[in-house]
Amino acid sequence: MAILFRLHIQLKLYYIFIIIFIIFCSYTSNAQITTPLQINLTFERSLMQWFFPIQFGTPSQTLNISIGTKSNLFWAISELCMIPNGKACNNRITNFFNTSLSNTITITNQEFTYKYINGSELVGVLANDTIIINNQTVEQITFGLPMNIKNGNNTIPDTITGQIGLIPYQNYILNKFANNIVGIALSMHSNDKADVGSGGSITIGGLNSAYLKDNDENNVVYQPLSQFTETMVNVTNIYINNKPINLSGPIWFNNEIQSIQLDDNSANIIANLLPGGSYSNGTAIVDCDISPIFDLSFEIANRKWRLPSSVIPNDAIDGTNKCESIITGSANNGSWIFGSAFITNFYMVFDQSKSQLGIASRNDIHYGPVEIGVQFPLGITSDHICLTIIDQEGTSQAFSLDNDLDSDGFYYLGYDYPAYEGSVYNIDFYSGPPINKYNCSGYHLIKTPPLTGNVATNPWKISLDDYSVGMKVKVPSGTKCMDLMVYYMDTTITQILTFNIDELDNEGYYHVENFVAYEGSKYGFYATDNSTTTPIGGPGASGCTANLLGEIEQIFADFTNDPWAINF
């Protein structure tokens, strides 16, 4: 009896261990991956495909799988696509996943389909198995095993072993990561002697900030995805040299084609506005040598995204100085297709959890020079304002700011003096008109700190915030009035402004309104115990009266804080 009792206890413990093991296995197979997975890609120009290795099954079998931005499906070639199981591919001895050798695979009866651009349809079944990417094991992920192709006589090329779709909708691979997001930075680095080269990278479960300006993920601009269809977002306008063309349309992204494919009417309009451009039968012809100043931009998510002008010409036409363009026509189904010509020039983000698409300019792409806009200085009362701009190479030019300001007070220098990525510029403001192309007359009023050109947007707008700071003053107790004396760069020019001290913040500071401090100028502050009838004065103003409570003589502004805090 005791033996039977002990046996019963042992059986109970055995079943408990089995249950615990099943729960553990279930947890580990469903546990989400928390560390972003950065994957370096290989680009093959002849195939226009980006690849990376994935190990399938147990024991593992390695295949080079391509990526796709048109689908959310993950599929791999197996023996099921070959006769007698299927006809989607030719019989192979290598370069496929032999499912019969994996002891962890489960093949379901659930069908999957994948539509090609030409209308044919890849059909197969879904399976579950373990994969390894960059030493990261992903347990029991679902992927497709193609069998046949409908509506077409073609077969999958022998060079293709599968594809991982990146569209952020019910995406099997993104579902395995705690952060359902993928950052995409595709490149086409190959040369005439080598068809294969570096293809950039993708990051599953996060972003690679090394590609972003200032390494800052906040530079990604997001656009909500209203529904998960092939049409992902809308282009709300197209610009050529900053002028809107008033064309718009829904788009989806497909890295498997190179061109930017529009409808025929839109392609014809754009082509004829490109340098040397013409359009016929779905093909745009342009000059092969397009100036780097030329700007073709697409507005998405309320931002203009500029293509480098060198991208616009594509294949050269023998015996001419003309090239076919990456702008093509014949887009159907009411939507445009943006291929690798666009995708490889921006950082793309597919965010499944928030249902949004992100776009950012990339550090490794040179978008070309941009126009410069400079906001008019605040508080200057001279009849004439002239600015000089000079870069680190010593190239300078003078401009009169007497007119042609936009509604926000910006003056645009035009393409006679554009900004280049990485170049550093200094701007100086003077009180007189230009005396020649390079110099201004009058007194030296204001200078800016060195400003690094930003070509991510066109124009590059240099605002007051870029070369000035606000002011807040902690005045002595009982102060009713304050005179502010401004000593500009040329100290023979001064300006007096008078302020009634009528409101302080919680820390006892008076915030100076409608005036800012500039680098290189000096400022004096004089506090009195009586108000004035002239709240804000200027040269010749009467200023504050009564008893002086405190004074600060000729100090430079502190540009490390905005606003600059002055304490009596």
Tens digit of each residue's pLDDT (9 = 90 or more) over 518-562: 998 999 999 999 876 554 444 344 578 778 999 998 999 999 999
* Per-residue confidence (pLDDT) for residue 535, from 0 to 100: 47
Per-chain mean pLDDT for the chain = 87
Query: What mean pLDDT do residues 468-493 have?
Result: 90
Tens digit of each residue's pLDDT (9 = 90 or more) over 435-458: 999 999 999 999 999 999 988 778
Query: What mean pLDDT do residues 273-280 have?
Result: 96
Q: How far is CA 546 from CA 278, 528, 529, 540, in A?
A: 76, 6, 6, 18
pLDDT(23) > 50: no
Q: How far is CA 290 from CA 286, 307, 320, 361, in A?
A: 9, 12, 15, 21
Tens digit of each residue's pLDDT (9 = 90 or more) over 337-362: 999 999 999 999 999 989 899 999 99
The full set of domain ranges for the chain reads 37-201, 215-360, 372-466, 470-567
* Per-residue confidence (pLDDT) for residue 45, from 0 to 100: 84
CB–CB of 201/67 below 8 Å? Answer: no
Amino acid letter, 26:
S
Query: What mean pLDDT do residues 91-113 have?
Result: 94
List, in order, residues 6 or more apart from 295 with CB less than 8 Å away: 239, 240, 241, 242, 306, 309, 368, 370, 458
Instruction: Go through the chain and tell me how many residues it has.
Output: 568
Q: How far apart are CA 314 and CA 305, in angstroms?
A: 19
* Per-residue confidence (pLDDT) for residue 111, from 0 to 100: 93
* Per-residue confidence (pLDDT) for residue 11, from 0 to 100: 40
Residue corresponding to tokens 């297709």:
337
Burial 432-464 (b: 16+ CB within 10 A, else e): ebbeeeeebebbbbbbbeebebbbbebbbbbeb
pLDDT(333) > 50: yes
DSSP annotation of 450 reads P
Tens digit of each residue's pLDDT (9 = 90 or more) over 161-172: 999 999 888 888
For 538, the token pair is 């200027």
CB–CB of 182/349 below 8 Å? Answer: yes
* Per-residue confidence (pLDDT) for residue 437, from 0 to 100: 95
Task: Report the percentage of the chain scoring pLDDT > 70.
Answer: 89
> SS3 for 215?
helix
Write the class of the CATH domain 37-201: mainly beta
Q: How far apart are CA 241 and CA 309, in angstroms?
A: 11
List, in order, residues 6 or more apart from 7 with CB less than 8 Å away: none
Domain 372-466 = CATH 2.60.40: yes
For 399, the token pair is 């401009």
Q: pTM of the full predicted structure?
A: 0.77
CATH H-level superfamily of 215-360: Acid Proteases (2.40.70.10)
Tens digit of each residue's pLDDT (9 = 90 or more) over 368-402: 899 999 999 988 877 788 999 999 999 999 999 87
Q: How far apart are CA 47 and CA 30, in angstroms?
A: 35
* Confidence label for 490 from pLDDT (cuts 50, 70 and 90): confident
37-201 against 372-466: fold identical: no
Query: What mean pLDDT do residues 460-466 have?
Result: 94
Name the range with the highest mean pLDDT among 18-22, 61-65, 196-200, 458-462.
61-65
Beta bridge partners of 44: 49, 196
CB–CB of 313/288 below 8 Å? Answer: yes
**CA nearest 483: which of 515, 446, 444?**
515
Report the 3 state secondary structure along 108-142: EEEEEEEECCCCCEEEEEEEEEEEEECCEEEEEEE
Tens digit of each residue's pLDDT (9 = 90 or more) over 283-324: 999 999 999 999 999 999 999 999 999 999 999 998 899 999
The two counts, helices (H) then strands (E), for the chain are 4, 42
pLDDT(403) > 90: no
* Per-residue confidence (pLDDT) for residue 227, from 0 to 100: 59
